[in-house]
């Protein structure tokens, strides 16, 4: 992958002198995606799937082509298994509310989940009476398969896990999880928001039943997501929304629901977003997901090398960059994560995330207020990482270390190497 050529495709890279290290929140978009969104509004701003004129036909064809691209890109069995949503959150809620879980049924999650894969299950616990269990990570934040097995039982109907943590960057071995869940008679739901943008996904090989992702984290338009449902699992799911577009024949007395995926796509769709989604998938296919994953890991290694001598810096999650995918979460002694993020932007235009990253339970359980997070993607280069390290070092030298060091750090937060005091 030629990163220098890749950077030329992104207007933000051309126009903003800063360093964008916040792709785990939302990625930048290349010219091709922006052009595809504009194409819809300029060429064929019509409604697909309803009218029969030529503009509507263009939209309908592009919608079908986008499902086909998603199926090819993610290794599905059929384009009809891919439902357009607003984001990964809506996909997870569709599964949570549509499975027909009843009092006494159990759902197993992990202790590293984003709120989008935690709060819906809390609501199901409080309003439907399900039992909620969670596996616990190893001390370094990596997934513990034995802990998951210990939570399984005959009452478990679903295992719902992240593909990749947005805090520690640790990846969950989905194929093994699916085998454990299916052996117990349970389905598998995956929050793929941080997985699909950064690694090759083969859904048939993984054997999961549901996989939800946010297109806005993988070069696509904001407000676009995808829910994958494998065959019978998707057909058995109850829709989250009802109305036009998801029905066959409707009378005053009843309605026949359309087959999947249209059954789950009530109302007017984000056709501009669908155009942009196809363009985003095309861009990632041309680059190659193996190249993206390899580049992410190279940058993680560079970040660790750049920050190893920074006094008072502690890393959240494993100290091995090879276990981290694309995110580097950390704290600096004497400074809050918000302060670190604002200072980095002020010092050299380095843009990162701060706070609890919508993974509140993980931080609360470890007694930490939050963390700063730098996240990389295919358009970042070695100079970006060098600028990040340099700015962080300046901040540490000027403001870090002002508070006395606490006698012990939470067990799940590994200390990064630091220079002697």
Contact (CB, 8 A) for 163 and 190: yes
- Considering only CA atoms, which of 212, 218, 175, 172 is closest in space to residue 190? 212
**Interaxial angle between packed helices 88-98 and 119-128, expressed in degrees from 0 to 180 and rounded to the nearest 10:** 20
d(CA 135, CA 130): 17
d(CA 313, CA 415): 8
**Which tokens in the block code for residue 291?**
């190249």
Element (H, E) at 315: strand 313-316
Contact (CB, 8 A) for 303 and 321: yes
Question: What φ, ψ does residue 178 adopt, rounded to 5°?
Answer: -65, -40
391: number of CA atoms within 13 Å, CB side?
23
- Considering only CA atoms, which of 315, 335, 311 is closest in space to residue 323? 315
Set 47, 77, 97, 358: catalytic member: 358
d(CA 390, CA 232): 53
d(CA 134, CA 281): 33
- Considering only CA atoms, which of 144, 142, 146, 98 is closest in space to residue 124? 98
Q: How many residues does the chain have?
A: 421
358 is known as an active-site residue: yes
d(CA 15, CA 13): 6
Contact (CB, 8 A) for 194 and 163: yes
Q: What is the dihedral of CA 121, 127, 129, 130, to 10 degrees?
A: -20
Q: What is the dihedral of CA 408, 409, 414, 415, to 10 degrees?
A: -60
Question: What φ, ψ does residue 55 adopt, rounded to 5°?
Answer: -70, -40
d(CA 246, CA 272): 19
d(CA 227, CA 205): 17
| Active site amino acids | 358
């Amino acid at each position: 992958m030629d990163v220098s050529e890749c950077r030329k495709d992104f207007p933000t890279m051309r126009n903003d002198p800063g360093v964008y290290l916040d792709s785990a929140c939302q990625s930048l978009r290349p010219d091709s995606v922006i052009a595809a969104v504009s194409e819809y509004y300029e060429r064929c701003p019509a409604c697909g799937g309803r009218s029969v004129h030529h503009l509507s036909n263009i939209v309908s064809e592009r919608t079908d082509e986008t499902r086909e691209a998603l199926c090819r890109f993610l290794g599905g069995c059929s384009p009809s298994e891919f439902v357009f949503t607003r984001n990964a959150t809506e996909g997870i809620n569709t599964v949570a509310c549509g499975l027909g879980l009843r009092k006494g049924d159990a759902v197993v999650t992990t202790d590293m989940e984003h709120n989008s894969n935690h709060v819906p299950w809390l609501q199901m616990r409080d309003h439907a009476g399900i039992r909620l269990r969670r596996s616990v990570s190893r001390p370094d934040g990596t997934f513990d398969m034995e802990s998951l097995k210990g939570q399984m039982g005959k009452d478990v109907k679903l295992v719902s896990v992240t593909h990749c943590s947005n805090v520690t960057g640790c990846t969950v071995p989905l194929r093994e999880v699916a085998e454990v869940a299916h052996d117990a008679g349970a389905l598998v739901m995956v929050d793929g928001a941080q997985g699909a943008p950064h690694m090759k996904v083969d859904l048939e090989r993984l054997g999961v039943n549901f996989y939800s992702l946010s297109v806005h984290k993988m070069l696509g338009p904001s407000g676009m997501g995808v829910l994958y449902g494998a065959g019978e699992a998707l057909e058995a799911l109850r829709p989250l929304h009802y109305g036009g577009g998801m029905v066959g024949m409707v009378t005053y007395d009843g309605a026949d629901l359309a087959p999947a995926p249209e059954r789950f796509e009530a109302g007017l769709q984000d056709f501009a977003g669908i155009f942009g989604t196809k363009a985003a998938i095309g861009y990632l296919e041309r680059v190659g997901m193996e190249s993206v994953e390899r580049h992410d890991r190279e940058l993680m290694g560079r970040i660790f090398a750049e920050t190893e001598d920074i006094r008072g810096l502690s890393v959240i999650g494993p100290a091995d960059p090879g276990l981290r995918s694309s995110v580097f979460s950390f704290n600096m002694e004497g400074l809050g994560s918000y302060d670190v993020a604002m200072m980095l932007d002020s010092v050299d235009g380095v843009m990162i995330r701060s706070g609890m990253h919508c993974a509140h339970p993980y931080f609360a359980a470890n007694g930490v207020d939050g963390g700063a997070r730098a996240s990389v993607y295919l358009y970042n280069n070695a100079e970006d990482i060098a600028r990040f390290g340099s700015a962080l070092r300046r901040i540490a030298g000027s403001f870090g270390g002002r508070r006395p060091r606490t006698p012990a750090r939470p067990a799940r937060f590994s200390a990064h190497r630091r220079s002697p005091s």
